[in-house]
Chains A and B, each alone.
Chain A
Amino acid sequence: MITKNAKEAIKHLEKLCELVAKRPSPFKGMTKDEVIEKLRETREKLWEKKLGIRN
């Protein structure tokens, strides 16, 4: 059974994919592992920033 929220979620997901498809990817030319490493770097930076704010 697909609930109202699920329909809403899928609608947003499809729209989001549509929007993303219209622009160039920041990860163009990168392998899957390279993308994951890049995302891990972002995560670490965000975390360091948060710790900086807390301290």
Chain B
Amino acid sequence: MVFVIDANIYVFAFGIAKEENCKTFLKIISGHPLINSIRICRTIVEEVSSNLTQQEFREFIGFINAITIVDEDFLVPFESGSKYEWKGLKPADALIAAYCEWTGADILVTENRHFLSRQSDLPFKVLPAEKCLKFIIRSS
């Protein structure tokens, strides 16, 4: 299964803002990288990094390098981003949606209710960490 994990999940998981479900989710998913494929784009890395100190940033990069590689934003087709903007997403959210489509992601994990309310418009599932955990447990 391919997952794109939104920046808010990392921020909550690291404890910058507390949300225990996000930490549990990230621990479980990164503990099984052979079964679960995690994808991350440059924008998400930068967004998370903007909330980290230099030392924390080094740990974050170590974490990411252990589970996946970073995809550059320019790889995502521009038209795909425009399509999601036209559907009403903000430009940066539209990039994330286009990135999910480009990677063939099964699930975008996010706590962002703007995404969560658009389930039917999107070719991938959008789940908050808690529901995604339940989904993984059910399907394993």
Give the interface of A toward B (CB within 8 A). Answer: 1-3, 5-6, 8-10, 12-13, 15-17, 19-21, 23, 25-27, 30, 32-33, 35-36, 39-40, 42-44, 46-47, 50-51
Contacts and interface: CB of A to CB of B under 8 A. Distances in A.
Given A9-B33, A13-B13, 14 more contacts: A5-B66, A6-B31, A10-B31, A13-B63, A16-B56, A16-B60, A25-B18, A26-B51, A36-B111, A43-B47, A44-B90, A44-B91, A46-B43, A47-B95
Contacts, number: 112
A20 B56 contact: yes
Given A8-B66, A33-B113, A39 B60 contact: no
A17 B26 CA distance: 12
A40 B90 contact: yes
Contact of A40 (B12, B19, B46, B112): B112
12 contacts: A1-B34, A6-B32, A6-B33, A9-B33, A10-B31, A12-B63, A20-B52, A32-B17, A35-B17, A39-B11, A40-B114, A44-B92
A12 B8 contact: no
Judged by DSSP, the binding face of A is helix
Contacts of B47: 39, 42-43, 46
A39 to B, nearest CB: 5
Interface of B: 7-8, 11-19, 23, 26-27, 30-34, 43, 46-47, 50-53, 55-56, 59-60, 62-63, 66-67, 73, 90-93, 95, 111-114
A20 B33 contact: no
Judged by DSSP, the binding face of B is helix
Given A32-B19, A50-B73, A9 B90 contact: no
Best-surrounded residue of B27, B43, B59 (most CB of chain A within 10 A)? B59
Contact of B67 (A5, A16, A25, A32): A5
